[in-house]
Each structure stands twice: as C-alpha cells, then as structure tokens.
C-alpha cells in the first residue's frame, strides 16, 4: 500500500464493506465516486464503507469498472450493460440507490432514478403504491381535491425549454 510508486503500476485502493470484506480496485476507477475521491485526496488507501453491504458493493464495483473503461467505441456496449444492470428486484434497486447516493456516483444515481421513473410510467396510482410499497396517506377528501385539480384546474404544459443552444 505504497502511496506513490516509481514503477508503472496503477495505484490500488481497498474498499471495505459493512461486513468487513475487502475489495481491491484501481484508484482511477474508484474516483468515479465523489465520496471516495475526497477520501483519496486526504491520503486514504483503505476506504471503509460502513453504509454499504458486500452484495451491493460488488455490484457497484462492477458498474464503476465498466464505466471506467468508457471510450467512444464501446458506448453501445455500455448502454447494454446499463440496461441489464437495472433489471434487478426492487429491494436491490433500493439498496443500490442508497449506496450510490452515499458514494456520490452521479451517473449511477441518474441511471437508478431513471429506472425508478420507468417503473412508474404508464401505471395507475394504485399500481405504483403496490410496487413501491407506499401506503396511501391521503384522506378521501384530500385525494378527491387533488384529483379534481388535475381534471379541471390545470394540466402539464411543456416545461419552458431553452432552445437557444443548438
């Protein structure tokens, strides 16, 4: 765990999950996480992640490795990877988004939020509640009021989009 090396060897970091398991990873890939990047700047090489369990950490490392190799030619390849990556159970996605948020991996957060959004699309309100396990905390009167507002009061216009950039 030398902090700098005279040879061409890439600098490695060790990430430790909440269950005390250790994973080696190249620094250049790990710094996709803003949190890890900060710790590296403070000269840490062993990075404890008490909020991330082993299973989730393995998936996140897999994501970072794939995205660390991003070049112009393998864009489609990465797209396919991302598509497969979010084909997970709801519980797994929850754990992942918690971890991604903690680790500040912007692209992963966006990917996961998009996945959640996709699961909301084209579903009824009841279906969304069921899928996400969210209880309905509206009273019938409150719910009716919101519903009425939808129908008569207003509708979504196109959000004001700035077309000045080509």
Segment (H or E) for 48: strand 46-48
Binding site for other proteins (CB under 8 A): 91, 94, 97-98, 101, 109-110, 113-114, 116-118, 120-125, 128-129, 132-138, 142-143, 146-147, 149-157, 159-160, 164, 166
Q: Which is nearer to other proteins, 1 or 161 (CB)?
A: 161
Compare residues 1 and 134 and give the one whose CB is closer to other proteins.
134
Q: How many Å apart are CA 44 and CA 47, to the nearest integer?
A: 7
Cα-flanking dihedrals φ and ψ of residue 80, to 5°?
A: -60, -45
Q: How far is the CB of 165 from other proteins (least distance, A)?
A: 11
**Neighbour-count burial of 108, counting CB atoms closer than 10 A to its CB (0-12 exposed, 13-18 middle, 19+ buried):** buried
Which residue lies nearer to other proteins by CB, 71 or 164? 164
Minimum CB separation of residue 146 from other proteins in Å reads 6
Beta bridge partners of 26: 12
Structure tokens at 77: 């390849």
Least separation in angstroms between residue 115's CB and other proteins is 9
């Amino acid at each position: 765990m030398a902090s700098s090396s005279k040879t061409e060897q890439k600098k490695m970091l060790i990430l430790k999950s909440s269950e005390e398991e250790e994973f080696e990873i190249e620094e250049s890939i790990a710094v996709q996480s803003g949190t890890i990047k900060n710790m590296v700047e403070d000269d840490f090489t062993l990075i404890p992640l008490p909020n991330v369990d082993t299973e989730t950490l393995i998936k996140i490392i897999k994501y970072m490795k794939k995205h660390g190799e991003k070049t112009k030619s393998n864009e489609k390849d990465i797209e396919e990877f991302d598509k497969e990556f979010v084909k997970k159970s709801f519980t797994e996605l929850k754990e992942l988004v918690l971890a991604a948020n903690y680790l500040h991996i912007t692209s992963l957060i966006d990917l996961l939020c998009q996945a959640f959004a996709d699961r909301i699309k084209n579903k009824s309100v009841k279906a969304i509640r069921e899928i996400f396990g969210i209880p309905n905390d509206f009273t019938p009167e409150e719910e009716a009021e919101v519903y009425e507002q939808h129908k008569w009061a207003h509708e979504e216009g196109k959000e004001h989009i700035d077309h000045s950039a080509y």
